[in-house]
Every structure is written in C-alpha cells, then in structure tokens.
C-alpha cells in the first residue's frame, strides 16, 4: 500500500465505496477482520479502527461473535399524498438539486401517446433531469408534457423549482391526482451513465401520469431511482373484510432515502 492516507482510512474508504456503490447492501456481512488484515497487510488493531469509523458514520453495525454488517441508514418520509421530488427530499431532510440535461419537442412514442391521451404522431415536450440529494445522484427523470403545459414550464428554471410548484404557484393549475406503476428494471446505458452506476444495474422505475382538476393528463414521467438509495415501504390495515369491496386499506406508503453520512455528522443528525 503506497497511499499517503493512514492505513485505517484506506480500509474504511474501501469498505465505504463498496457500500455506496451497492456491492455490499443492507445486512450483508463485511469481510472478517482477518480477511481485511490480509487484504491490506495491516494489523487487526488497524482493521478495528476502520470498522469503528464506519460504525460511527452509521454505515455498519456489529454483532458480538458474528462480525460486522451493512446498516440500513436511510431516512423515512411519508408519501400517502401526491408529492414531487423536491418535497420528498426536503421532508426527508435532504437538500435537493436538479440538473436539466435535455429540453425539446419530439414526436410522441406509442407509450407516451397512450399515457397523455394525445393523437398518434403528436408533438410532445420532453425534459430529462438528473435529480440529486445532498449532492449524490438519486434519480433520473424523463418527463413528457403536451405543448400547452410545456409552454408554461419552459419560462421557468427547473434547476431550482419543480413542475408541480411552477404550475400550482404561478398558474393556479391544480395537480389533483396521479397514477403510478413501480417495477424493477435494468439500467439503460444512458441512464446508468447519469446515475453513475454500471450498465444493467437494477434500478427502480416509477412511471406516473399526473392529472389536473379537470382530469386532463398533465404529464407522463419515467423516474429511475438508484435502488441502493431509495426503497418504498408499505403499510396496510386489515379492517372489516366483509364490508371491503377490494384490496386492503392503504395506511402508509413511503419512500426511504439513504442518508448522506458526512452531512449528517456535520449537522449532528
């Protein structure tokens, strides 16, 4: 090892990188102290100091006699009501950031035509954005809007504001409901590059169509979430099944975001 950094930091940095890239996920067991010592050519005391650092950062937990494991250090925030990315991030105590990568008219695909209820061959406005939380890539959004709503949006800076906020605040357009579809997908090459993950990595895809008060399709969106930085938790109540027409009542449905440990340490969270 030739790095000028202290050896215990080299060990902790290597483990932290594997956790942040998803090579090690929640409840995965870390290599043993002996394995880490042999890999880096350091003593068990050095390895233990590295593990103490990761434990202090909230990245791992230790079980006596069993070893060290990756900790779920993600933040919880409710999503029973219809929210946007900025609202989700701020409610979770994470600083949101949006980078606009593409804005242009294009011919609607079959999927977009169906979602927006426009005629085949219609022109729609596409917006691509990289969404960050505390400076880390969290999601990649691809959004399509009919030209009327796009004309309103393009006058504003989407780096610091959301589509919901712009339409509701400046144009008094109510976004009243949304239809969601959530599935696991392999990262397309262009999306993988923006999210800084390998091509083909598992991502969470959320497709949603948002509607106005007049039940008009406002936009159709595909959001690709890094699966190592967000998950969804669902809580249902059983209730009286005899009087229940379909399904179980939804009590809570929330995204869980991975906390930036450096920022949390600085702010004392």
Residue 187: CA atoms inside 13 Å, Cβ hemisphere, count? 23
Averaged pLDDT for residues 243-249: 49
Residues 205-227: tens digit of each pLDDT: 999 999 988 889 999 999 999 98
pLDDT of residue 260 exceeding 60 = no
Residues 145-165: tens digit of each pLDDT: 999 999 999 889 988 788 988
Going by pLDDT thresholds of 50, 70 and 90, the confidence category of residue 74 is low
Averaged pLDDT for residues 110-138: 93
- Euclidean distance between CA atoms 96 and 57, whole angstroms: 22
Residue 197 φ then ψ, to 5°:
-130, 160
Identify the CATH number of the domain defined by range 7-70: 1.10.10.10
Query: Is the model more confident about 78 or about 110?
Result: 110
Residues of the chain with CATH 1.10.10.10: 7-70
User: DSSP label at 128?
Assistant: E
Which CATH number, 3.40.710.10, 3.30.360.10, 3.40.1410.10, 3.40.50.300, labels domain 85-228?
3.40.1410.10
Report how many helices (DSSP H) and strands (DSSP E) the chain contains, helices first: 9, 11
Nearest to 68 by CA among 34, 27, 29: 29
Is residue 104 within 8 Å of 91, Cβ to Cβ?
no
Mean residue pLDDT of the chain comes to 82
Buried b (16+ CB within 10 A) or exposed e, 220-244: bbbbbbbbbbbbeeeeeeeeeeeee
pTM over the 0.85 mark: no
Averaged pLDDT for residues 15-20: 86
- Euclidean distance between CA atoms 133 and 116, whole angstroms: 29
Residues of the chain with CATH 3.40.1410.10: 85-228
- Euclidean distance between CA atoms 239 and 42, whole angstroms: 58
Query: Is the model more confident about 93 or about 259?
Result: 93
């Amino acid at each position: 090892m030739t790095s000028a950094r202290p050896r215990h930091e080299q060990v902790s940095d290597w483990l932290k990188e594997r956790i942040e890239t998803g090579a090690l996920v929640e409840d995965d067991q870390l290599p043993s102290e002996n394995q880490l010592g042999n890999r880096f050519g350091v003593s068990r005391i050095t390895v233990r100091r590295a593990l103490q650092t990761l434990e202090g950062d909230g990245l791992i937990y230790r079980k006596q006699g069993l070893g060290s494991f990756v900790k779920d250090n993600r933040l919880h925030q409710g999503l029973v009501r219809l929210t946007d990315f900025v609202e989700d991030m701020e409610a979770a105590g994470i600083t949101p950031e949006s980078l606009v990568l593409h804005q242009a008219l294009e011919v609607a695909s079959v999927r977009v035509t169906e979602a927006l209820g426009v005629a085949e061959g219609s022109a729609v406005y596409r917006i691509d954005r990289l969404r960050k939380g505390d400076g880390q890539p969290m999601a990649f959004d691809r959004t399509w809007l009919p030209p009327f709503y796009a004309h309103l949006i393009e006058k504003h800076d989407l780096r610091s504001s959301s589509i919901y906020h712009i339409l509701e605040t400046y144009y008094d357009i109510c976004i009243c409901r949304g239809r969601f579809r959530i599935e696991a997908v392999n990262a397309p090459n262009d999306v993988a590059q923006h999210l800084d993950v390998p091509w083909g990595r598992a991502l969470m895809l959320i497709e949603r169509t948002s509607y106005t008060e007049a039940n008009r399709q406002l936009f159709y969106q595909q959001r690709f979430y890094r699966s190592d930085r967000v998950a969804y938790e669902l809580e249902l109540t059983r209730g009286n099944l005899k009087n229940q027409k379909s399904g179980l009542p939804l009590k809570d449905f929330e995204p869980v975001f991975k906390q930036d440990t450096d920022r949390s340490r600085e702010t004392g969270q």
